[in-house]
Copies of this chain bind each other. A is one copy, B any other.
Amino acid sequence: MPLGEFELIDRFFRRPARRSPLGIGDDCALLAPAPGMQLAVSCDMLVEGRHFLSTVRPERLGHKALAVNLSDLAACGAKPLAYTLALSMPRVDEAFLAGFAAGLHALADAHEIELVGGDTTAGPLNLCITVFGEVPAGAALLRDGARPGDDLWVSHPAGEGVGGGIGDARLALEVFRGTVSLPGEDFEAVRRAMEQPQPRVALGMALRGVASAAIDVSDGLLGDLRHLLRRSGAAVARRESGTAGPGDCTLGVTLDTAALPRSVVLAARPEALQLTCLLTGGDDYELLFTAPPAARGLVERAAASATVGVRRIGRIEAAPGVHLLDAHGRPLAFEGQAFDHFRT
């Protein structure tokens, strides 16, 4: 007889409760944020064929499902506390579940958080994780705080090794799509970037009070940058006139494409492919953030304390528009869209 729903939870997901006043298994989980803390909440749903390929190792899928959610907490500067998992699967596949749970628990342990509840059901494979973090009231990094003249920064793996960096996940996807071929070890490196992103939680927390705005790069750098510019532009307009609502105004940016941090694998590809991967790739889970030029030293120190690289890649402008510059400081034409789940 196959495992039932409750045995499945007991076998693969129940672990001793450490932080939550309850373990899993009651109608609700109970969380008690510390006094003066706000609770940051984010929720991401992963669907086979959209967010992961059927070929992904279950351990890596478990890692990624939690990592993309932790990345949202990182973009708010929140300290992770707990998460819930809702899981729909066609059937109970014990090998899959054991691997998935191992990858999930390993990343959860690395961030000292625990599973506090969730749901399991039969159905097409679908993973929905909701993460909870805490941040001192008023200290969350938001998308709307960028101001003209701010520097634009992006994080990258410390040391910029063979694997990792903006654009690697997209490069791996192009290999799977058959449009690019790579030597085996190069493919493994970029595939790891796609399948095991590292959420920049420590950096996000270190940037509290330093960054003026932040977002994580999940749908492609240009697309996510536009969200930040629009939200910040609307905030500037609201402050100045008290009339304009969100979406009516936007800030602009000058972006130095040569400064975009990329892995040696990506750097060896043709320039057009590099730009596509860097600017519209998505699935990067690096932090894209702004800070006043006076805070450059603080940004560098925050990155060092989080053992993450950061690179200054441009400047926020008062006038709308994304101005791309090439390695010689000349305007660069680029046509590309951010990822949209219903248009791609």
A43 contacts the other chain (Cβ, under 8 Å)? yes
Q: How many copies does the complex hold?
A: 2
Note all chain B residues with C-beta closer than 8 A to A26: 76, 142-144, 231
B72–A340 contact, CB under 8 A? no
For the complex, what is the distance from the CA of A268 to the CA of B304, rounded to whole Å? Answer: 73
Beyond A29-B41, A31-B41, A35-B35, list 14 extra A-B contacts (CB 8 Å). Answer: A4-B343, A25-B246, A26-B231, A27-B76, A27-B215, A29-B42, A30-B38, A39-B39, A43-B128, A44-B86, A47-B121, A50-B122, A86-B128, A123-B124
Is B121 within 8 A of A45, CB to CB? yes
A117 touches B43 (CB 8 A): yes
Give the residues from 5 to 37 in chain A that come closer than 8 angstroms, CB to CB, to chain B: 5-6, 8, 21-22, 25-33, 35
Given contacts A121-B341, A342-B122, contact A130 B84 (CB under 8 A): yes
A53 contacts the other chain (CB 8 A)? no
Among A42, A50, A119, A143: residue with most chain B CB under 10 A:
A119
Mark interface residues in A319-344 (1 if CB within 8 Å of B CB, else 0).
00000000000000000000011110
Query: Which residues from 116 to 136 on chain A have a C-beta closer than 8 Å to any C-beta of chain B?
Result: 116-124, 126, 128, 130, 132-133, 135
Label chain A's interface by main secondary structure: mixed
User: A35 vs B32: C-alpha distance in the bound complex, in angstroms?
Assistant: 10
Report if A183 contacts B (CB, 8 A).
no
Interface size class of A (residues with CB under 8 A): 35 or more
Chain B residues with Cβ below 8 Å from A269 are none
A137 at the interface (CB under 8 A from B): yes
Which chain B residue has the least Cβ–Cβ distance from A132? B41
Q: C-beta contact mask, A53-88 vs B, less than 8 Å → 1, else 0?
A: 000000000000000000011011010000011111
- With A41-B117, A116-B41, A342-B4 already in contact, the answer to whether A33 and B30 are too (CB < 8 A) is no
Residues of B within 8 A of A297 (CB): none
B126 touches A5 (CB 8 A): no
Contact A50 B130 (CB under 8 A): no
**Contact status A39-B45, CB under 8 Å:** no
